[in-house]
Structure formats: C-alpha cells, structure tokens
C-alpha cells in the first residue's frame, strides 16, 4: 500500500470546508438574446453578447448552490423585466460547472412553460486575473469559517460555528509517531432563532402534546409511527418491482434452464416475498387502513351493519347516496386475509416447482438427456407433463397480482398516516422543522469532518478498516454547556441534532481526480436517511478492503456527554435543575455500552489500538456508568472517561461549548496533556507547565485570535473561580472581550 503523507492528509481535509470566494462567471451568448441587466446589441442577426457576473466574498456561494439565468428581450429600447419580454431561463449548480469539461457548460434556454427551447447560454468559470491580463494561475480559494461572533446571523444558520480540526503529533526517536485528533465546533443549535422558549427537545415535546388536542381535525400519529410509515412506504416501493421481476425470471428459467438455476431464482423470490410480507404485518398498516375507511363519508363498520335499518331509512338511502358516496362495510380482518394470500400464492409456486423437479428427476432416470425444460416444453413427452409450465404461469401471475393488491393497499394506508401528519402540521410545525434542519446541518458538517479525518488517519490500519466496515465507528460529542439560562436551550437543540445523526451513513468512493473539487464529500438523501460520500485518491481507494471498495454503507453511532463547568452551572447545581444533563449522560452511556458489546462480539481485540495504560475498556465503562449516576457537582471525570473510551474504540472525538473557543480550548488542551502524561511519560511535575504552554501558545489561542481578533480567552477572574482547577487558563491569557 502506498503511504499517505501528512501533507496529503492536510490537503484533503482542508477541502472539506472550502467554499468559493471571489469567483467570476462569464456568460457567452451566441444567439440573439439580451440579458435585461446589461446593454443589448442591435442591428445584428447573430450577436455575440459577453458579460460577467461576480459574487462578492460575503455571499454564501457553495458547490451545491443553484444559479438560475433568466433572459429577457429588448422592449422599445428598454430593459424591463416583464412576462411579455421574457424569453427563457436555465439553471445549473456550481458543482455542475466545476465538474464540467474545461469548466464550461452549454445550457438550453427554455420557455416559461418548458415547452420549447429558445436559445443557448454558455457559462464558463473564469479565474480572477484573466479579465485584465489573461493570467491563468492568479485564482485562489480560501477556507472559510463561521466565527463565533457570527453565530446569530440568520443567513448562516445552517453553517457550523468555528469548525476546526486539531491534531497533536507526538514524536519519539525510539517509537513511531503518534497522532491524536479532535474536531472542535460550536454547539449545534439554532442560535439565530434564540432560546427564549427553550430548545428542540422542549419545543418538540410541547408541539406533540398540542397536536393531540381536539383542536386539530386530524388523527394524531406519534413521530415513531410516522417514521415507520415512511419506512414501510420505502420497503413497498423497493420490493414490489423486485418480486415482480423475480417472478418473471422464474418463468423464463423454468422454460430454458436446468433445475439448479430454477431453484436459485425461487430462493431469491422466496426471500424477497418473505421480507415484503414481514414488513406489511406491522399493526400500523392494519390500523391505518381501518382509520382510512372510517374517515370516508358513509362509513359503516361490520358491527354497525348488522343492525337493521328502518323502512324509512331504506327509502331515504338512494336519495342520500347522490350527495354523499357510501362505502361498503369494512371487515377489519380483510387486511390479514389479503397479505396472507401472498404467502399462500408463494407456497403454491414452491410446491409446483418441487413437483417439476421431481418430474425432472424421474425423467432423468429413464432418459438422462432430458432437462427440466424438456419436461415442460417437449412435445415428445406425455401431454400431462406439458401443462406444468402453464400451471406455473398461472400461479406466478396470481402471486404478482396478490403482491400488487397488497402493495396498493399498504401505500394507501401509510400515505393516510403521512397526510394526517401534514394536516396536523401548522406554521409552528414548519418552523420547528426548519430549526431542526439547521441544527442537524451543523452537526452533520462536524461529523463529516471528523469521519474524513479519522478515515485518512486510519488508511494503513487494517484493524481499523475491518472495524469500520464490520460495525462502524462511534462519534463521541463532548459538551461543556451549562444547564442554566439560554444554554439549556442550546443543549436541547444539540441533543436532538446529534440524535438525528443516527439517520446518516457514509460511503467511501474513488475520486475522479486529486483536484480539490473531486475530493470534497457530498451529501444525498432525504430527512429520514442521508448518505455522505467521501472520495479518496485513487491509490488510497485501491488499497481499501473489498467491502469498502464495493460501496458498503458505513454507520457512525453518535453519543453525547455533557458536563457544565462555568459559573452558570454553579447556579444550576445549587438553585436550578440539572436533570437534562443527567438524562443525556445516562441515555448515551447505555448507547455507548451497547456499541461496546456489539464491538466485542464482532471485531477481535487486536483490531483496537494499543495504549500504555493497562485499564481495559470494560473497566473504564464500568467506572463511567458509576459516574453518570453519582450526584457530584461538575463531575468532569465523565468527560475524561468518555474521551478515553472513544479513543480506545477507534472513535471520532468532538468537543463543543457555546462557540468552541474558550471552554473548548481548556478541555482540548487538558486532554492533550493527559495523553502525554498517560501515554508518553510526561512527568507529573511538568504537567501544569505543559498545560499552560498549550493555552498560551499554539493553535487554541490562534483560534481565539481568528474568531475575535484578540488573543484573550473570554473569561474573568470571578468566572474562573467557579471552574474546575484544570480548566483555568494561565494569567495574562484571559480578559473581558466580545465573543
């Protein structure tokens, strides 16, 4: 395997957070079309109109940004934007342009109703400097960040705050260099929307309670049931065409091949049909079908229909049916009979194929040259044998019909559930979804950054790669938020956003080239499932295990542990409520413990990294479990233990506070010095000196400078008196500043 240099790793990681800056786009039109914002050319049948469009540095332009071009004709010498002089439009994404040949796109201009093509627009990316003197290499892209002072900016709410990666490299003449990585990011939260009414955890709970009230004219389904409905809809959409295709393939195989291929196709058909039936046995489908029938006008249940109607009612019935459609009584057991018919049809197909194979075996004993196809189609065989294929065709068609009927009913039922959710959603629901999306976007960016960093660091570690495709990784988010005032809302947002990361999977792909744009991760999917594709350079990708090269979806299990350390946490512990923090830590400990059990059952211990400290992971977990239930103020040992366990399990480490600038710096430097002490024999007499040095010089104080243009942590003496001892910066490095 070719080694990946530190420079390569840094270059590829930098691409993760790059965005376009100072870009200039040229629009070249070889057709008689005029952009309304620019001068037109007159007196020519085929004018060449060239114009440039530049985006200011403060515009949020990214690779996924869509750009729409609308072209208007001239109207009596004026360039008014009206429907009467609209000629056509086209759109493209920045990615389309950057990935195109020669970074140039030829776009068709379409009319407003998309009925015709009226011209062509050629869009080219030009490098800054080409405009004046034709220089080709003057263009550069800068890595942007959202500084802590911009966390309240509405138009930046989907971007993580102060997202950075940090690596400590420990060099020893007698040993291989060691690397310790961490991602630092401001708390994923809706800072621009504020926390007056709490965060997502509280707001969602209140919203779900309100939806249950009788004020809403809809049926309430809890979030887990609507999620299940989406899952069933997805399964039905995938499996029905698959089953139909396998059924057709079964008929073809029976007519053309020997018995073994027929048995293989039948096995696949049996597996897919069983998956289909299992998914639709869910009680939600049955109850939703009943609710759907009950919601129709004139619905009559089976028990109601048994009551005899009066003669007068019978006479009125035809008149009433003209205005309100009536539906036949609904048998609540009908659904069970429908999906059971699928299983029965499959069993009939299996039984007939068994008979065909038995017939095949009998004929092979008497005439070895006969195949199953001969048994079915040969006119030289008895007439009774020829009808087998016809019978199989009838059974296969019956199976396909049953599957189609079940699929249609299932779609109606789960669609009804989803429509109820939509009906119950008011403006508040949309606002909450937008808040949740913003928080999730920030958390996802941090996780994707951490995954890419961990992947590059482990490319030569066979044990890590085996663990990656066998069970996935754990991503441990460490939070230092307090449970007082607005930081409660931040923590509630953060809890939901990190929990939503369970819906994310990763896939490793081979990059088209080693250019920056080809190495940037991409995200695809919908709210219920996202996939992040992480491209690797050719030589690195080809050295991966086969499972990873084939595009296996990789899971990352997010866990969150929070311990507030500032003066606000002191108030919360003495006079307020810390139950949110206690619940989060207990819940995520159970998740982490479950991951460890799966890890030990799936991956041998040799796959995990070696550490100097002799305490094993199980013992560390037991200690962490004791700490999360212990009533102890500012119990930062929870964070230390969770961090150690994460590193022992090849995990991704992330640390957050409000802005990832001050408290985060204290925590990251403390962890680094602890690693030097525990793993690299840093003398305890030099521990505090090393800690102060890391806080006074190096990347953490540079991060502060980068955010607020001042080399001071935003603490004062009174605040620091409330901090745990090892979370206090050295004299001269803190003061009153705008953060």
Q: Which of 684, 698, 589 is nearest to 635 (CA)?
A: 589
Determine how many CB atoms are found less than 10 A away from the CB of residue 22. Answer: 14
- Cα separation, 460 vs 179, in Å, equals 13
- Cα separation, 405 vs 412, in Å, equals 11
- Cα separation, 710 vs 466, in Å, equals 45
8 Å CB contact between 561 and 639: yes
**Alpha-carbon separation of residue 708 from 120, 154, 701, 718, 739 (angstroms):** 47, 19, 11, 22, 6
8 Å CB contact between 301 and 330: yes
8 Å CB contact between 324 and 229: no
Q: Exposed (0-12), middle (13-18) or buried (19+): which is 470, by Cβ within 10 Å? A: middle
Distance of CA 565 to the CA centre of its chain: 31
Determine how many CB atoms are found less than 10 A away from the CB of residue 119. Answer: 17
**Alpha-carbon separation of residue 365 from 361, 384, 619 (angstroms):** 6, 18, 66
Distance of CA 112 to the CA centre of its chain: 34
Q: Which of 512, 507, 510 is nearest to 525 (CA)?
A: 507
Determine how many CB atoms are found less than 10 A away from the CB of residue 614. Answer: 6
- Does residue 23 carry a catalytic annotation? no
8 Å CB contact between 469 and 230: no
Catalytic residue among 23, 36, 657, 699: 657
Distance of CA 503 to the CA centre of its chain: 5
103 DSSP 8-state letter: G
**504 forms bridges with which residues in the sheet?**
530
Question: How do 504-510 and 86-93 pair as beta strands?
Answer: unpaired
3-state secondary structure of 310: coil
- Catalytic site positions: 657
């Amino acid at each position: 395997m070719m080694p990946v240099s530190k420079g390569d790793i840094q270059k590829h990681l930098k691409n993760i957070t790059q965005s376009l800056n100072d870009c200039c786009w040229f629009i070249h039109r070889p057709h008689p079309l005029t952009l309304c914002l620019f001068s037109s050319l007159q007196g020519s049948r085929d004018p060449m109109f060239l114009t440039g469009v530049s985006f200011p540095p403060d515009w949020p332009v990214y690779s996924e940004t869509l750009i729409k071009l609308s072209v208007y004709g001239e109207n009596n010498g004026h360039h008014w934007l009206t429907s009467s002089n609209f000629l056509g439009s086209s759109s493209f994404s920045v990615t389309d342009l950057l990935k195109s040949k020669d970074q140039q796109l030829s776009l068709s201009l379409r009319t407003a109703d998309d009925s015709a093509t009226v011209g062509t627009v050629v869009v080219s990316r030009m490098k800054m400097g080409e405009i004046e003197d034709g220089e080709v290499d003057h263009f550069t892209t800068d890595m942007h960040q959202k500084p802590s002072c911009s966390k309240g900016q509405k138009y930046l709410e989907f971007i993580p705050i102060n997202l950075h990666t940090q690596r400590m490299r420990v060099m020893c003449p007698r040993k291989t260099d060691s690397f310790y990585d961490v991602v630092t990011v401001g708390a994923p939260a809706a800072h621009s929307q504020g926390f007056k009414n709490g965060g997502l955890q509280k707001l969602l709970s209140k919203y779900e309670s309100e939806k249950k009230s009788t004020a809403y004219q809809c049926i309430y389904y809890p979030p887990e049931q609507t999620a299940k409905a989406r899952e069933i809809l997805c399964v039905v959409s995938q499996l029905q065409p698959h089953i139909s295709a396998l059924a057709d393939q079964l008929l073809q195989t029976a007519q053309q091949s020997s018995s073994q291929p027929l048995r293989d196709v039948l096995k696949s058909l049996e597996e897919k049909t069983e998956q289909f039936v299992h998914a639709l046995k869910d009680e939600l489908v049955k109850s939703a079908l009943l609710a759907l029938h009950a919601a129709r006008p004139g619905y009559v249940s089976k028990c109601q229909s048994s009551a005899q109607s009066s003669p007068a009612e019978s006479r009125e019935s035809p008149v009433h049916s003209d205005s309100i459609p009536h539906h036949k009584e609904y048998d609540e057991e009908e659904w069970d009979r429908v999906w059971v018919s699928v299983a029965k049809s499959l069993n009939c197909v299996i039984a007939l194929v068994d008979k065909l194979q038995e017939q095949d075996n009998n004929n092979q004993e008497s005439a070895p040259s006969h195949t199953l196809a001969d048994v079915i189609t040969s006119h030289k065989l008895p007439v009774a044998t020829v009808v087998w294929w016809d019978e199989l065709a009838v059974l296969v068609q019956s199976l396909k019909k049953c599957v189609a009927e079940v699929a249609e009913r299932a779609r109606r039922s789960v669609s009804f559930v989803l429509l109820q959710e939509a009906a119950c959603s008011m403006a508040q629901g949309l606002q909450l979804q937008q808040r949740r999306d913003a928080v999730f976007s920030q958390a996802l960016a941090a996780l994707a950054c951490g995954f890419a960093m961990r992947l590059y660091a482990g490319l030569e570690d066979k044990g890590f790669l085996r663990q990656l495709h066998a069970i996935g990784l754990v991503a441990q988010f460490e939070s230092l938020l307090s449970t007082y005032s607005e930081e409660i809302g931040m923590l509630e947002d953060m809890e939901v956003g990190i929990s939503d990361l369970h819906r994310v999977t990763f896939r490793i792909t081979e990059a088209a080239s080693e250019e920056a744009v080809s190495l940037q991760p991409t995200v695809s999917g919908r709210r219920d499932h996202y996939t992040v594709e992480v491209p690797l350079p050719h030589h690195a990708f080809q050295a991966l295990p086969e499972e990873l090269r084939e595009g296996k979806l990789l899971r990352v299990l997010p866990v969150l542990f929070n311990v507030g350390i500032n003066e606000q946490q002191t108030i919360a512990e003495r006079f307020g409520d810390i139950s949110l923090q206690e619940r989060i830590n207990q819940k995520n400990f159970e998740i982490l413990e479950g991951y460890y059990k799966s890890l030990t059952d799936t991956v041998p211990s040799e796959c995990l990294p070696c550490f100097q400290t002799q305490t094993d992971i199980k013992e560390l977990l037991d200690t962490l479990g004791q700490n999360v239930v212990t009533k102890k103020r500012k119990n930062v040992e929870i964070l230390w233990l969770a961090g150690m366990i994460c590193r022992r399990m090849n995990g991704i480490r992330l640390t957050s506070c409000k802005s990832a600038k001050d408290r985060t710096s204290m925590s990251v430097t403390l962890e680094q010095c602890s690693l030097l002490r525990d793993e690299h024999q840093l003398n305890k007499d030099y521990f505090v000196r090393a800690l102060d040095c890391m806080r006074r010089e190096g990347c953490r104080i540079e991060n502060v400078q980068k955010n607020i243009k001042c080399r001071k942590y935003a603490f004062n003496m009174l605040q620091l008196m409330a901090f745990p001892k090892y979370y206090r910066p050295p004299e001269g490095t803190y003061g009153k500043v705008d953060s």
